[in-house]
Amino acid sequence: MNRERFERACESALQQERDRDSIGVLREKTLHSVLKYYYEPAEENHEIKIGGFVADIVGEHGIIEIQTRNLEKLVPKLEQFLKVCPVTVVYPVLAEKYLIWLDEETGETTKRRKSPKRGTVAEAVSQLYPLRQFLSHPNFTFCAVLLSGNEIRSLNGWSRDRKKGSSRYDFIPTGILEEYCFAAPEDYRGLLSGAMPERFTAKEFGEALSLGGRKLYSLIHVLESLSILEKLPKEGRAYPYRICSAEETKE
């Protein structure tokens, strides 16, 4: 993690925004653009065609793909890219954000306010469910980047105040907080709480990680695919789980 480099990346992305009209740059959301400049400041290494796909970054350490949501869209790319070189998938986590509401008709915005929602690394790993076939590949690395910033949301929702069901217009990063990279199945073991009992339910696991619903079960399936968690025979109304040993994970 390099905060100075991140600040320079923010400046480069904003300069690209200012130059867009004059040089015809394809519109890119600010978050994606900032991360692209953070991981590779040299523009000549951006948007490189490989086979039938375009990689976000190609450099001396391989390919870097920045995906701000919908990781399943990377499946066709990964099927091709992983055959030829190392690939790092970068996924931003909005760990500390301030909300700003935008009226797209008038261009007016509200004062920003801090959101109580905080993204976590466990939540980011849960998004890997569509990519779980690649997680044990020796060329695959996943990097969750915790960021702070301002989230701009459009007032286009279905509720009376137009906030419920609204869409995110953009996210403007203001700082990088942490980076967590997972290059091998064993790396994901760090997500597990040291206080977990020998056997535990999905509910207990979710409480330990502050995760619930579909994201919780997606995370469980990801960790099962890595042989880090094992589902045990049903006891009562719930299936208990156990944490596999490091030897079992390596197998």
Per-residue model confidence as pLDDT tens digits over 192-229: 866 678 889 999 999 988 899 999 999 999 999 999 99
Distance CA 63, CA 49 (A): 11
Distance CA 217, CA 223 (A): 10
| Residue 94 banded pLDDT, cuts 50, 70, 90 | very high
Determine the CATH number of domain 191-250.
Answer: 1.10.10.10
C-alpha 26 chain-centroid distance: 23
Q: What is the mean pLDDT of the chain?
A: 87
Q: CA separation (Å) from 8 to 46, 124, 212, 248? A: 16, 25, 37, 44
Task: Give the pLDDT score at 220.
Answer: 95
Distance CA 62, CA 139 (A): 9
All structural domains of the chain with their residue ranges: 49-183, 191-250
The residue assigned the tokens 């007032």 is: 155
- With a cut of 80, say whether residue 27 has pLDDT above it: no
Task: Give the pLDDT score at 234.
Answer: 86
Lowest mean pLDDT among 139-148, 211-220, 240-249: 240-249
Task: Give the pLDDT score at 17.
Answer: 63
| Residue 236 banded pLDDT, cuts 50, 70, 90 | confident
Sign of the torsion angle spanned by Cα atoms 22, 26, 27, 31: negative
